[in-house]
Structure 1
Amino acid sequence: MADQVGRIGPFIRMLDLPLVQLVPELMQLRIRIEQELRRKDFLFVSEEMTKLYNESDPRRGAVKGSDPFELGKKFKKAHADIASAGRCLAVEESTACVFHLMRAMEAAVRDLSQRRHIQLPITPKTTWRGLTGQMDGKIAKMPENTVSLKRKKNRWEEARANLHHVGSVWRNNTMHPASSYTPSQARDIYEACRVLMTSLARL
């Protein structure tokens, strides 16, 4: 195709060239372009999802290691799955999106458990209730003898309750082969996880 463009270039620069000489070259260029395009497969991303897709893909300008949730240095092990979830959501791979979100949430749970000195053995058979349940005892023992400590403990209790809810509603079902999600459901879950992980990052 480049050679075709090269032949047309001089013709275009000759302003007095008869149209009858230029048209055949343009027709050939059109044919060559169509032939080249037929050899390619294109991925369609809707206009409303283009920004999310670009922000989730380093090949499209996103900073490698960053994530659309803008968590900064928090939950670094979750960033790759959050970005993958964004790309999947943008191309309507809804179940894959939720799967990556649950992997990201697991990374957040591991991080939080380490801060509470809990060892969480996570396997495919581990339920989310089992993970959050191990936090109960540690959180219950947190001091609350000042207003500041009471608020801190309340934030952890709220976080544990939210994580339990996410696990009960989505995580345990997502790990089951029969589960699937619609684009609308995936968008709702994506936004819910974004809000939750942003709040967890402030603990």
Structure 2
Amino acid sequence: MKSLEVLDARVTAIAVRNLLLLLKAKKLTYGSLGRIYKDINSRLQDELSLIQIFVMDGSKAKYFEPGTPLFGPEAADKFPLAIPDMEDAGKCLAFGQGTATVYHLMRVMEYGLRAVGAMLEIPYAPSWESYLSQIRKKAEEKRVAKTIDWKGLEPFFLLVEGDLTAVKLVWRNPTMHIQRRYSVQEAEEIFSAVRSFMMRIAPQVPPSPSVFD
């Protein structure tokens, strides 16, 4: 019955409920059961002809209905405004829409990059290379200054630099704007790289519900 509700096959559901009542009351003969079965089958075929059903690759189902947040619970907690794009990136990937997946990942990355930039007082930049060069420059300045707080943060920013390099490589695009189409395989690679980046920074950055303000 639940499957019929999902399909919105209401007429068929009514017929099935009536059949169950007859079975419970023990008022069926083999002949009437056969006729009712044919009627239910006919109704279901008619109702299915009115809808479209998408069959999802089993390996992609984890992106459509994940048991836990796709980018980790801490990233979801730190970037609540990014959750819709995180979820939409997963849904688009599940349905094989590579370019749409990358579009949502681009938006997720902006939240993360702006949060990291705020930690280093780096202004918004339109390209990966710009962010990477500014992070390297700021990191070197702090390394030379040898501040106490930087000693604890330096390993983190070195890893962030590596994550951003990985994202840049799989993105295959010098800017953070979509200028071409992406295959599902490319989108999945980018998804993995962005996910690693967001999970990396989530424990370190402060809660940033409005990093675009």
| TM-score, normalising length: structure 2 | 0.72
Instruction: Kindly provide the CA deviation profile for residues 5-37 of structure 1, in whole angstroms up to 9, marking residues without a partner as x.
Output: 454345323546331222222211111111111
* Count of matched residue positions in the alignment of Structure 1 and Structure 2: 189
Contact persistence 1:82–1:101 (CA under 8 A) = yes
Q: Which amino acid aligns with 2:100?
A: A
Instruction: Kindly provide the CA deviation profile for residues 16-64 of structure 1, in whole angstroms up to 9, marking residues without a partner as x.
Output: 6331222222211111111111111122222222233112xxxxxx7xx
Q: Which amino acid aligns with 1:196?
A: F
Instruction: Kindly provide the CA deviation profile for residues 130-187 of structure 1, in whole angstroms up to 9, marking residues without a partner as x.
Output: 2333334332222564787335224314423532452354153673433322x22222
Partner of 1:54: 65
Q: Determine if the alignment matches structure 1 residue 133 to structure 2 residue 133.
A: yes
Contact persistence 1:11–1:22 (CA under 8 A) = no
The alignment partner of 2:69 has SS state of coil
Name structure 1 gaps, 5 residues minimum: 56-61
Q: Which amino acid aligns with 2:70?
A: P
Contact persistence 1:162–1:196 (CA under 8 A) = yes
Q: Percentage identity across aligned positions? A: 23
Partner of 1:190: 191
Instruction: Kindly provide the CA deviation profile for residues 88-114 of structure 1, in whole angstroms up to 9, marking residues without a partner as x.
Output: 111111221122212211211111111
Question: Which of the numbers 154, 176, 179 marks the counterpart of 1:177?
Answer: 179
Q: Measure the CA separation in 2 of the matches of 1:72 and 1:135.
A: 24
Q: Which amino acid aligns with 2:198?
A: M
Q: Determine if the alignment matches structure 1 residue 155 to structure 2 residue 132.
A: no
Q: Measure the CA separation in 1 of the matches of 2:80 and 2:21.
A: 55
Partner of 2:211: none
Contact persistence 1:78–1:105 (CA under 8 A) = no
Name structure 2 gaps, 5 residues minimum: 1-10, 205-213
Q: Determine if the alignment matches structure 1 residue 20 to structure 2 residue 22.
A: no
Partner of 1:167: 168
| TM-score, normalising length: structure 1 | 0.75
Structure 1 stretches of at least 4 aligned residues deviating more than 4 Å after TM superposition: none
Q: Measure the CA separation in 1 of the matches of 2:123 and 2:175.
A: 24
Question: Which of the numbers 31, 46, 49 marks the counterpart of 2:42?
Answer: 31
Note the aligned Cα RMSD (angstroms): 2.9
Partner of 2:7: none
Q: Measure the CA separation in 2 of the matches of 1:45 and 1:154.
A: 41
Question: Which of the numbers 78, 84, 107 marks the counterpart of 2:82?
Answer: 78
